[in-house]
């Protein structure tokens, strides 16, 4: 069973995606330009379809993940919260305003590029197991 479809065209060279789509996003969100390289990464992530909202039915439970440069991260835009180490160290530490995953989510929502994937409630356990494993793997790689 393929639990979480991935985007086949995700660039591993963030910020290097060019062209009309990227320019359109830069123009649409001038207020995010202050985030510098995070903004470029967010544009890359949004265009690659990396912002995913997994909806479990019939409960309607939602999990939002962002497939970033290193792998999946859980985000909770309402709090806000992100499982990445940048959020943990720099955002919670008060040095930075946001991480690029949360920035990606905001841009994806506003441009209708949020990738909504529906699952049945029975798949929730397998989904969480797979995603948590990814998040741990990312954490392990980013802190080693
Ligand atoms: Zn993050």
pLDDT band at residue 137, thresholds of 50, 70 and 90? confident
List the shell of residues around ion ligand 1, using CB closer than 5 Å: 82, 84, 87, 99, 101
Tokens standing for 121?
């409630």
1 Cα–ligand 1 center, Å? 27
Task: Please return the burial class of 20, using the count of CB atoms within 10 Å of its CB with bins 0-12, 13-18 and 19+.
Answer: exposed
17 Cα–ligand 1 center, Å? 20
Q: Return d(Cα 98, Cα 105) in angstroms, integer.
A: 11
Contact 28, 111 (CB under 8 A): yes
Q: Using alpha carbons, list the distances in angstroms from residue 5 to 1, 34, 36, 69.
A: 10, 32, 29, 16
Q: Return d(Cα 43, Cα 127) in angstroms, integer.
A: 26
H or E, element range at 61: strand 61-67
Q: What is the pLDDT of residues 74-116, one digit of tens each?
A: 999 999 999 998 999 999 999 999 999 999 999 999 999 999 9
50 Cα–ligand 1 center, Å? 13
pLDDT band at residue 8, thresholds of 50, 70 and 90? very low
Q: Using alpha carbons, list the distances in angstroms from residue 33 to 95, 100, 110, 115.
A: 17, 12, 16, 24
* The model scores a pTM over 0.75: yes
């Amino acid at each position: 069973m393929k639990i979480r479809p991935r985007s086949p065209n995700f660039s591993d060279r963030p910020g290097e995606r060019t062209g009309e789509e990227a320019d359109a996003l830069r123009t649409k969100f001038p207020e995010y330009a202050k985030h510098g390289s995070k903004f470029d990464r967010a544009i890359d992530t949004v265009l690659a379809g990396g912002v995913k909202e997994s909806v479990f039915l019939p409960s309607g439970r939602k999990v939002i993940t962002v497939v970033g440069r290193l792998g999946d991260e859980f985000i909770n835009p309402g709090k806000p919260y992100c499982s990445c180490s940048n959020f943990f160290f720099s955002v919670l530490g008060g040095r930075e305003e946001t991480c690029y995953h949360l920035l990606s989510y905001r841009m994806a929502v506003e441009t209708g590029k949020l990738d909504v994937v529906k699952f049945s409630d029975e798949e929730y356990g397998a989904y969480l197991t797979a995603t948590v494993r990814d998040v741990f793997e990312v954490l392990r790689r980013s802190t080693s």
